[in-house]
Chains A and B, each alone.
Chain A
């Protein structure tokens, strides 16, 4: 097996006896390993590791890294949904020894600074969401969803309403919403979208009832559209005795502008790795704190940080659902999010959201004459185009458009999602891109639209200039080669 990227595998450059590092001579008596470890745990054959020099390893991984495309290299229209630009100051703060050299088993009085950071971060998230108190434990967004649903469940049970077993999810929802509801032992009920792309309020009215535990909603939704009926939706769900869960995946559009709690939400999760610029997208780890209303606060996972007589202490909320993560969540990710919030300030966070929304609308305005725009209204931080004109008129599919973008040095946007748009292309530029970059993207999309018309075959075989050409995705899924094997 040879790597198709032109970079040989470490196993292929291996040469017997070559070493990257040699240990110094032993200055203590040597003990045979089988005297230390029972033989049943010892391997019978030498491990077959590649034998390479240090420089070969460095070159190998550096060459591979140069084949990557990321936000540090060029435009990346996956946006905050995958990972937005991580300002370097976050990394500086997270590497301060006061944060890196502490241990979760240290007594509270020796880690007051770390507890203060967690307390403040929870307070800031509560302020942004318009809700009461937070847990920072969930390890990522979907984990936050599950935690939120467990809290909703515990709340209903505490009120003698444990029979509420249905969670309503819009048809445009992220797949994690129904998945989390299933994990929390709920029945998922789907509510359709209306012609403006929001929740169909009339249909929702028919779906709610004595079994409704709650509704999960992303606002703005996956079409990048703010649901204008949110207050009516909240009223319908609340009147039926259900609670509202806010999926914070798209919170990058609303910071400092709309507080989800003020529009009726009872539980909000934030993806720190989306909205608050902490690493993600394969690098991770993520972090998905949730913020809840006052009536749900007693059910939060423990421990939570509280402030008593000027000291920070760890507490167990009265009716806590328990722990959802070891220790305190992904602490160093919390530091990065805290640094982001503090370096922007309240006004700065609002500007982040405003710029994200302006950038998305700028792209949408210029691209809608080239590609079909199924919901033609102002978008928030992202918008969804459809490749259906190109498919119907020239037999070019969205996959072909996405592949061709790679030739123009742009990462492909999310495609074929959301599912309620045919041949979907979901584009999210984020707040950090310049007008020049946005214009270059528009120019690339224009050239591709022209190519679809004049030379559709070249699109169907794209990409042409990448290290590897069109991949056989079906074969990769059916017969994945996950590791090197000796021939």
Chain B
């Protein structure tokens, strides 16, 4: 399970780092809180994003929420499947519901992100 290797933010995004590429999505907890996702506004390939910047938008029946970039860098790939099937975020948040891949900017620290265990404890508190 790649979930074990994922890192997490306090805003409920997950990151899976492979070399210099970070794949990003929102967590099971986040999708459950949002309810049925009806629209995803994806970033554009080539966009530069700063850490903490809202770089995608997820709209559910309840609310419209920004997805914040857990790492800074350049968007190299987006999950176009979400355009026609936004429900993938509900059905498979950690796998088919990934949102974008970012080429991580040099010198980026991942120290502020939580590991799976820390994140689990974090949502229990919330």
Q: Given the known A-B contacts A478-B38, A478-B86, are A473 and B63 also in contact in the complex, defined by CB atoms under 8 Å? A: no
A477 at the interface (CB under 8 A from B): yes
- Check if A474 sits within 8 Å of B62, measured CB to CB: no
The 0/1 profile, CB within 8 Å of B marked 1, for residues 448-487 of chain A is 0000000000000000000000000110011000000000
A375 at the interface (CB under 8 A from B): no
| Residues of B47-69 contacting chain A, CB below 8 A | 59, 61-64
- Check if A474 sits within 8 Å of B38, measured CB to CB: yes
Which residues of A are found within 8 Å of B63, using beta-carbon distances?
416-417, 419
A473 to B35, CA, bound (A): 10
Q: Given the known A-B contacts A416-B62, A416-B63, A419-B63, are A477 and B39 also in contact in the complex, defined by CB atoms under 8 Å? A: yes
The bracket for how many chain B residues form the interface is: 10 to 19
B45 to chain A, nearest CB (A): 23
A474 to B40, CA, bound (A): 13
| Residues of A411-428 contacting chain B, CB below 8 A | 416-417, 419
A194 to chain B, nearest CB (A): 18
B103 at the interface (CB under 8 A from A): no
A203 to chain B, nearest CB (A): 16
The bracket for how many chain A residues form the interface is: under 10
Which residues of A are found within 8 Å of B86, using beta-carbon distances?
478
B87 at the interface (CB under 8 A from A): yes
B71 to chain A, nearest CB (A): 21
A417 to B60, CA, bound (A): 13
The 0/1 profile, CB within 8 Å of B marked 1, for residues 221-261 of chain A is 00000000000000000000000000000000000000000
| Residues of A186-227 contacting chain B, CB below 8 A | none
A321 to B38, CA, bound (A): 39
B62 to chain A, nearest CB (A): 4
A119 to chain B, nearest CB (A): 40
A27 to chain B, nearest CB (A): 57
Q: Given the known A-B contacts A416-B62, A416-B63, A419-B63, are A474 and B87 also in contact in the complex, defined by CB atoms under 8 Å? A: yes
Which residues of B are found within 8 Å of A474, using beta-carbon distances?
36-38, 61, 87
- Check if B62 sits within 8 Å of A477, measured CB to CB: no
Q: Considering residues A175, A419, A478, which has the most beta carbons from chain B within 10 angstroms of its beta carbon?
A: A478
A474 to B91, CA, bound (A): 13
Which residues of A are found within 8 Å of B61, using beta-carbon distances?
473-474, 477
Chain B: CB-nearest residue to A188:
B54
A419 to B86, CA, bound (A): 22
B61 to chain A, nearest CB (A): 4
The 0/1 profile, CB within 8 Å of B marked 1, for residues 371-403 of chain A is 000000000000000000000000000010000
Chain B: CB-nearest residue to A415:
B62
A419 to B62, CA, bound (A): 10
| Residues of A251-297 contacting chain B, CB below 8 A | none
A399 to B35, CA, bound (A): 10
Chain A: CB-nearest residue to B90:
A474
A38 to chain B, nearest CB (A): 41
A474 to B89, CA, bound (A): 13
Chain A: CB-nearest residue to B87:
A474
B52 to chain A, nearest CB (A): 11
Which residues of A are found within 8 Å of B62, using beta-carbon distances?
399, 416
A477 to B87, CA, bound (A): 12
Which residues of A are found within 8 Å of B35, using beta-carbon distances?
399
Chain A: CB-nearest residue to B36:
A474
Which residues of A are found within 8 Å of B38, using beta-carbon distances?
474, 477-478
Which residues of A are found within 8 Å of B36, using beta-carbon distances?
473-474
A70 to B112, CA, bound (A): 50
Which residues of B are found within 8 Å of A417, using beta-carbon distances?
63
A416 to B33, CA, bound (A): 10
Cross-chain pairs A/B with CB under 8 angstroms, 20 sampled: A175-B64, A399-B35, A399-B62, A416-B62, A416-B63, A417-B63, A419-B63, A473-B36, A473-B61, A474-B37, A474-B38, A474-B61, A474-B87, A477-B38, A477-B39, A477-B59, A477-B61, A478-B38, A478-B39, A478-B86
* New A-B pairs, 19, CB < 8 Å, besides A416-B62, A477-B61: A175-B64, A399-B35, A399-B62, A416-B63, A417-B63, A419-B63, A473-B36, A473-B61, A474-B36, A474-B37, A474-B38, A474-B61, A474-B87, A477-B38, A477-B39, A477-B59, A478-B38, A478-B39, A478-B86
